[in-house]
Structure 1
Amino acid sequence: MNTLYDNFNKILKVLALITVAAFIAAGCQSSTEETQKTADLVYVNWAEGIAYTHLAENVLEEKMGYDVNLTSADVGPAYTAIANGDQDAFMETWLPVLHQNYIERFEEDIVDLGHVYEGTQSGLVVPTYVEVDSISNLNQYTERFDGQITGIDAGAGVMQTTQEVIDEYNLDYELITSSGPAMTAALSSAIENEEPIIVTGWQPHWKFGRWDLKFLKQDEDNMLWERGNIHIMGRQNLEQDKPELAQFLKNMFFTEEQLGDLMVAVEQSDQDVSQVTMEWMNEHEELINSWIPEGAGEMASME
C-alpha cells in the first residue's frame, strides 16, 4: 500500500511541476508579446517625407526598441491603408487644401496626430531666369513651354489642384504625370541648359536650396493654393493600441531650417537614406530626445 501511495504522490508532484512550468511559459510568452513593439508606417515618395520617415524609423528602432516596417505608396492607397487599419500611420498629409478631399472621405476612420511642419507652400514653379511671373500670363508663352506642366504622381493633391488651376485660368497646357524624382530630374536638365520649364512645386523641398526658383503668382481673386501644414494621420484606435507610438508621432516637429538641413543632407549624399538619417539623428540628439515620450528610451535600453 505504501508503495502504491508513494507512486501516486510522485505522479501528483510531476503533474504539479508540469502545470507550474506551463504557467511560467505562458507568462513569459505573454510578457514577450506585451513588450514587442511594432510600427507600420506608410509614406509617399516625396523628398521631405522620405527624409523624415526614415529618420523616424531610426529613432523608433535605435532609441525606443521598435520593429519598424516602412511602406512607400501613392497618396490614395496610403489613406486607404490607414483607414482599413493595415498601417499605423500615414506620414504626410498636406492641409488645408491639397489633401482635404481625402480627409473628408476617410475622416471617420483616421485620426489627426498633429503637424510635423508648419508653413507649406505649393503651386507652379519656374526657374528665376524664366520671364513669366504670374499664372494669368502663361497663355502668352504656351509655345515656349511646349504647352506642358511637368507634374508628379497622379494621386497627389498638388496634381489635383494644378488641374483645377488649369481649368480656372483657362490655361492651354497639359499636366504631365510623372513622379517626384522624375520631376526634379526634368527640372535639373532644363536648368542645366537654361531652358524654360514649369513644374508642380512645393515647400519644403530641397530643390529650393539647390536652384534659384520662384512660384508663379496667383490672382488675388482666384487663390486656389494656400499656405498650410504637414500632418501625420493615424489609424483609428492607434492611441489606444499603441499609445507610446502615437505620442512619439505627435511629438515629431521640424522647423524650416531643421527639415531643410535634413533634406539637403539626404539629397547630397551618396549613402543610403537610412544611413544619412542615422547620422543626422546622432548629430541632433537634443531635438530627437524631445520627441521621445517619457520613459520610452529607458525601456528600450533595458531591453
Structure 2
Amino acid sequence: MKKVIVMITVLILSIGLYGCGTANNEAENEEANGQENQEKQELVLGLTAWTSTLPPTEIVKDILEDRGYSIEVVEANIGAVYAGLANEEIDIYLDSWYPQQTQYLEEYSDSIEQLAPIYEDANAGMVVPNYMEDINDVADLIGKEDIVNNELIAIEDGDPAMDELQELIDAYELDVELISSSEGAMLAAAKAKTDQNEPILLYGWDPHSMFNDMGLKILTNKEHPEFFNGSSVHPIVHKDVKEKAPEAYELLEEWTVSIDDMAEMITEIDNGADAGEVAEEWLENNPEWLNNN
C-alpha cells in the first residue's frame, strides 16, 4: 500500500511539473507572438511636402493598416527623410525619383535599399507656358533670358534636382539665376504669371497637375540629354524592413500605380480633395491590394 501511495504521489507531482512546464511554454510563446505582433504593428513612413508624395503614402498607409500595422507618418525635407531612413527613424519613403536622387542612395547605401519602381516614364526639367510658342527646347532660351526676368523659379535647396538644374544652366551658359522656393510658392508664382499670359521659367515634374491647370510644357533638351532624361519612382526602405516587416517589404516590391492614375490623384489633391479620400477611392477601384492579397 505504501508503494502505491508513493507511486500516486510521484505521478501527481509529475503531472504538476508537466503542467507548469506547459504553462511556461505557452506564456513564452504568447510573449514571443506578442513581440512579433508588436514589431509588425509599428512602421514609420517619410513624407516630403510635394504633391506627388501624398497619393502613394496615403495608399500604402491604408494597405498596411488593413494588414495590421500601426503607421506613423513623419514629414520632413528630402535630405532629412533620407537621413531618417539611414538611422532607422523612418522605415519607408515612397517618392524617390531615380536617377535624380542618386546622391542620397549612394551616400546611405550601407543602410537603405531601393525597391522596384512604383511607376516609370516620369519626366522633369525646365518648364514654360504653352503660349511661349518660340521656346520649346532649353537652347531656345539662349539670348532671350530677359523675357523671364533672368530667373528660373524652382523648389527648396537640398533637393538633388536643384543641383541638376544648375548644371543644366551652366551647360547652356544661360544667364538665369536659380531661385529656390517651396513647391507651393513656385506654383503660386507660375499661376500669377499664367493668369496674365506672361512669360515664366520654372521647374516642373510630370505627373503633376500644373501642366493641365496652367497649360505648361517641359522643354526638350537636345544638346545635353544627360540631364533630366526620364525617371522612375521607387520606394526606399531601411534594410531592416525586409526582416522586421517581411509582409510590408513584399507588398512594396510588388505594388505599382499607373502614371495616369498618379496624375489624376495629384490633380484631385491640388484642386482641394482630401488626400486620404483620394487614396480610399483608388483602393476601391483596385481592391486586390487590400485584405492581405
Could you say which TM-score interval applies, normalised by the shorter chain?
A: 0.7 to 0.9
**Structure 1: segments with no counterpart, 5+ residues:** 1-12, 298-303
2:95–2:234 CA contact under 8 A, matched in 1: yes
CA distance in 1, matches of 2:264, 2:286: 11
One-letter amino acid matched to 1:282 = E
Alpha-carbon distance, 1:94 to partner: 1.4
- Alignment partner of 1:70 is 2:73: yes
List 4+ stretches of structure 1 deviating above 6 A: 13-23
Deviation at 1:25, TM superposition (A): 5.2
Check the 8 A contact 1:48/1:205 in 2, yes or no.
Answer: yes
1:239 to 2:242 alignment: yes
What do the CA deviations read for 1:132-179 (whole angstroms, capped 9, x no partner)? 222223242222211111101112122111011111111111111111
Q: What CA distance in whole angstroms lies between the structure 2 residues aligned with 1:209 and 1:254?
A: 20
> Within 5 A, what are the aligned runs for 1:115-130?
115-130=117-132
Q: Is the deviation greater in 260-269 or in 250-259? A: 260-269
- Asked if 1 retains the 8 angstrom alpha-carbon contact of 2:142 and 2:172, the reply is no
Instruction: Return the TM-score normalized by structure 1.
Output: 0.82
Query: What code does the residue aligned with 2:63 have?
Result: V
Find the residue that maps to 1:279 and give its secondary structure: helix
Q: Give the match for residue 28 of structure 1.
A: 30
Identity of aligned residues (%): 26
Equivalent-residue separation in structure 2 for 1:134 and 1:283 (angstroms) = 38
Deviation, 1:23, is 6.3
3-state DSSP class of the match of 1:233?
A: strand
Distance 1:256 1:58 in 2: 20
Q: SS of the counterpart of 1:114? A: coil
Cα separation, partners in 2 of 1:18 and 1:188, compared to 1, 3 Å: farther
Kindly provide the amino acid, as one letter, of the partner of residue 80 in structure 1. Answer: A
3-state DSSP of counterpart to 1:195: coil
Among candidates 148, 154, 166, match of residue 151 of structure 2:
148
> 8 Å contact 2:44–2:90 — kept in the other structure?
yes
CA distance in 2, matches of 1:236, 1:209: 38
Does the CA-based 8 Å contact 1:47-1:206 persist in structure 2?
no
Match of 1:172 among 175, 191, 195: 175
The DSSP-based 3-state class of the residue aligned with 1:262 is helix
Unaligned runs of 5+ in 2: 1-14
Aligned to 2:82: 79
Asked if the contact 2:44–2:71 (Cα under 8 Å) also holds between the matched residues in 1, the reply is: yes
Q: CA deviation at 1:267?
A: 2.3
Q: Which digits, 9 at most, give the CA deviation of each residue in 1:279-302, with x for residues without a partner?
A: 33223324x34xx7xxx36xxxxx
Give 1:28-47 correspondences, 5 Å limit: 28-36=30-38, 37=40, 38-47=42-51
The amino acid of 2:213's aligned partner reads: R
State the partner residue of 1:283. 285
Shift of 1:33: 2.4
The answer to whether the Cα contact below 8 Å between 1:266 and 1:277 also exists between their aligned partners in 2 is: no
Deviations 1:34-67 (A, max 9, x none): 22322211132111211211111112113x1210
Task: Tell me the SS of whatever aligns to 2:147.
Answer: coil
CA distance in 2, matches of 1:278, 1:228: 27
What secondary structure does 2:143 align onto?
helix
Matched, 1:57 2:50: no
* Residue number in structure 1 paired with 2:7: none
Counterpart of 2:102 in structure 1 is 100
Give TM-score, length-normalised by structure 2. Answer: 0.85
Aligned twin of 2:223: 220
Q: 159-168 or 137-146, which moves further after superposition?
A: 137-146
Q: Which secondary structure state, in structure 2, belongs to the residue aligned with residue 182 of structure 1? A: helix
Whole-Å Cα distance in 2 between the matches of residues 104 and 168 of structure 1?
24
Query: How far does residue 99 in structure 1 lie from its aligned partner after superposition?
Result: 1.1
Q: How many residues are treated as equivalent by the alignment?
A: 279
Distance in structure 2 (CA, Å) of the matches to 1:194 and 1:111? 44
